[in-house]
Amino acid sequence: MPNTTVLLVTEESLAGFIATALIATGMSQSDADRISRLMAEADAIGSDGHGVFRLDQYVRRIQAGGINTHPNIRIAQERTAMAVLDGDNGMGHLVMSRATDLAITKAKKSGIAWVGARFSNHAGPASLYARMPLAHNMIGLYVAVGSANHLPPWGGTEMLLSTNPIAIAIPSKSMPPIVLDMATTVAAYGKVKTKAQRGEAMPEGWMIDRHGKPLTDATRADEGFLLPIGGPKGYGLALMFGLLAGTLNGAAFGNDVVDFNADDTSITNTGHFIVALDIAAFTDVNSFKSEVDDIWSTMKSSSLLPGFDEIRLPGERLAKVATQRRTNGIPIHGTLQTVLNRLAKELNILPLT
Amino acid sequence: MPNTTVLLVTEESLAGFIATALIATGMSQSDADRISRLMAEADAIGSDGHGVFRLDQYVRRIQAGGINTHPNIRIAQERTAMAVLDGDNGMGHLVMSRATDLAITKAKKSGIAWVGARFSNHAGPASLYARMPLAHNMIGLYVAVGSANHLPPWGGTEMLLSTNPIAIAIPSKSMPPIVLDMATTVAAYGKVKTKAQRGEAMPEGWMIDRHGKPLTDATRADEGFLLPIGGPKGYGLALMFGLLAGTLNGAAFGNDVVDFNADDTSITNTGHFIVALDIAAFTDVNSFKSEVDDIWSTMKSSSLLPGFDEIRLPGERLAKVATQRRTNGIPIHGTLQTVLNRLAKELNILPLT
């Protein structure tokens, strides 16, 4: 019988549980703290497929030797306004928070900075990193090569591309920041995994099978592939993002991408990049933020097409979910509870409560 | 009776005709040369809605006082790796070729540079500027606020957004460069205008009317609006690109965008940005280009979905069309010939032959 209870946990207790689990795999307290805070934040902001949901997989990969728990993350290439980090096969969260810190520091001087990474790993939701520059009155732009190929080139059947997501975060004055976080496919593969774990069907249009027919059973996801947004356009974006976040950084792209859902040991050599733009270099920060507020209300108050009941801004749902979950708790669904309880037993740590 | 003949012209004679027309409006020889070369290049690479097709409209706007023929294009904001140009209401081609030159110069030092522009105008196809850094072994990335709003926010009916296009160009070694040039809508408005001028119907999915029904008659385009790629995702991209290319540069976005198809006199304050990435700052240029070749052939040789006869790389059609047109001539359709002949008479210059 499936477990249908929903456990509500605080972001702090969730982060604490994750950190304890990571420390049990041999990671240092400080690295475990940094990663666990980002993973719990992913759940707090509603990225259900990219937070604690991934913990079991991360631990399995660490235990199989597929992730370096004591990486020497270093700058491999550098100029004034750019760098490429070598993540030494560490957790993606460590590599990309370091990359983002570096981009912010460089952007303060140069006005803008672009920091890529290679030999990184899955780093959670794209919006985590795009949102980091906001606190410095900067705009963030993040792109990653996805950690498994589920997308063929347009018109093809070989899965040579991933969902290669983009996130862009722009601060406002009195409204939540505008945060776009999207896969270049109609649905991200994390959403497919969540559907499968919850035993829910996928809507038509997310995936097709190898004969081009719609695929809606999420548990059969490995029999088909994702569809790109706008057909050839989404394929084009996924391809370009892969070349920029992967190939340009010396990271995996195309045939070289390791399916980290199926393989726990091969080095993934995941690539990402983050761009930070210092708003003060372009214009007055306060005026800019006010104008973003104006754009927000112009969109929000504009008239509706029949069948719609509101216009949403990118990031609006994120902000609402975050407020709601930070007040009432983060829901952990039954199937995930079962997984985390088993994991706690295996690692000999206290279960999540 | 519509003129159904097709005139074939060389890129040089097309550029010469355009330059003569622009000089007749009062522009300097050197500015007219720069603009006309870019406009003829647009036709040579197959951007039929963004080259000489726009000449009549540009001339009309110049004569109405809506474009400054002697602009003082200047750097308004600057740091090491960025700048914002004030285009002084000059032709967009002048402003953005200057912006791209500056981005290339800055990227040589900083590794990467981002140059925005305000008080610019329509600049032709996005790929013109994204492709300029290629000759310097750089990658180009260009985004513009479109010059007329034809896209409502997702679920709305007020046209607050444009097709806000993106172009990314990445060099290869022995293959053509990979060049993505796409609107964030299913179809660019330039394609709608071309369909209308040629008397052709639009496919379903390009536009809907104000009741949400498909609109296929291109001559009725002003009764409906364009559809974004991937629904809310394309809306999100158009919004973010508008904030980055418009608002951040102090250029028009949202309600402030002037419909340059309907209004010949108001200053458009068009915004764009160009990013140049110096590949040598990231990795060995030759190895990178070889890897792009590998990606090209991997995609190209992968197996096909039923109903498709080839996999195309972004930029492949552009390269083929350019080769074909530079060999056999650029086709000028009958309706456009009629417009250009009338224009030549009005400006008292020799017609295009």
Q: What is the pLDDT of residue B313?
A: 98
Reduced 3-state DSSP string for chain A: CCCCCEEEECHHHHHHHHHHHHHHCCCCHHHHHHHHHHHHHHHHCCCCCCCHHHHHHHHHHHHCCCCCCCCCCEEEEEECCEEEEECCCCCHHHHHHHHHHHHHHHHHHHCEEEEEEEEECCCCCHHHHHHHHHHHCEEEEEEECCCCCCECCCCECCCCECCCCEEEEECCCCCCCEEEEECCECCCHHHHHHHHHHCCCCCCCCEEECCCCEECCHHHHHHEEECECCCHHHHHHHHHHHHHHCHHHCCCCHHHCCCCCCCCCCCCCEEEEEEEEEHHHHCCHHHHHHHHHHHHHHHHCCCECCCCCCCCCCCHHHHHHHHHHHHHCEEEEHHHHHHHHHHHHHHCCCCCC
pLDDT of B2 over the 70 cut: no
Inter-chain touch B180–A236, beta carbons under 8 Å: yes
**Cα–Cα distance measured from residue B177 to residue B293, given in angstroms and rounded to the nearest whole number:** 9
pLDDT of A2 over the 80 cut: no
pLDDT band per the 50, 70, 90 thresholds, residue B1: low
CATH code for the part of the protein at A1-63+326-353: 1.10.1530.10
Q: What is the pLDDT of residues A301-311, one digit of tens each?
A: 999 999 999 99
Tell me which fold the domain B71-185+228-301 belongs to: Ribosomal Protein S8; Chain: A, domain 1 (3.30.1370)
Domain B1-63+322-353 has CATH 1.10.3720.10: no
Q: What is the pLDDT of residues B165-175, one digit of tens each?
A: 999 999 999 99
pLDDT of A137 over the 60 cut: yes
**Cα–Cα distance measured from residue A281 to residue A58, given in angstroms and rounded to the nearest whole number:** 39
Domain A71-185+229-301 top-level CATH class? alpha beta
* Angle, vertex CA A228, rays to CA A223 and CA A233, nearest 5: 150
H/E stretch holding B168? strand B166-170
How, if at all, do strands B330-333 and B6-9 pair?
A: antiparallel
Inter-chain touch B299–A239, beta carbons under 8 Å: yes
Q: Which of A3-12, A319-328, B284-293 has the lowest average pLDDT?
A: A3-12
Count of CB atoms within 10 A of residue B62's CB?
20
In chain A, what residues touch B240 (CB-CB under 8 Å)?
168, 170, 178, 180, 314
Inter-chain touch B313–A239, beta carbons under 8 Å: yes
Inter-chain touch B112–A82, beta carbons under 8 Å: yes
CATH code for the part of the protein at A186-227: 3.30.60.50
Q: What is the pLDDT of residues A146-199, one digit of tens each?
A: 989 999 999 999 999 999 999 999 999 999 999 999 999 998 887 888 888 788
Inter-chain touch B110–A314, beta carbons under 8 Å: no
Find the mean pLDDT for residues B212-225. 92
Q: What is the pLDDT of residue A1?
A: 56
Nearest-CB residue to B81 (from A81, A254, A305): A81
Find the mean pLDDT for residues B224-250. 96
Residue B311 C-alpha, separation from nearest chain A C-alpha, in angstroms: 6
Q: What is the pLDDT of residues B36-59, one digit of tens each?
A: 999 999 999 999 889 999 999 999
Tell me how far CA of residue B115 lies from CA of A50, A104, A209, A277, B168, in angstroms: 34, 18, 43, 11, 15
- State the amino acid at position B325 in one-letter form: R
Nearest-CB residue to B305 (from A79, A155, A311): A155
Report the complex ipTM: 0.96
pLDDT of A130 over the 60 cut: yes
Q: What is the mean pLDDT of chain A?
A: 95
pLDDT of B327 over the 80 cut: yes
Nearest-CB residue to A82 (from B111, B178, B242): B111
Nearest-CB residue to B247 (from A82, A239, A288): A288
Q: What is the pLDDT of residues B169-206, one digit of tens each?
A: 999 999 999 999 999 999 888 788 888 878 899 998 89
Inter-chain touch A243–B156, beta carbons under 8 Å: no
Q: Where are the domains of chain B?
A: 1-63+322-353, 71-185+228-301
Q: What is the pLDDT of residues B273-297, one digit of tens each?
A: 999 999 999 999 999 999 999 999 9
Smallest CA–CA distance from A291 into chain B, residue = B247
Q: Is this prediction's pTM over 0.90?
A: yes
Find the mean pLDDT for residues B240-246. 98
Q: What is the pLDDT of residues B137-166, one digit of tens each?
A: 999 999 999 989 999 999 999 999 999 999
Q: Which of A168-182, A189-203, A327-341, B9-23 has the lowest average pLDDT?
A: A189-203
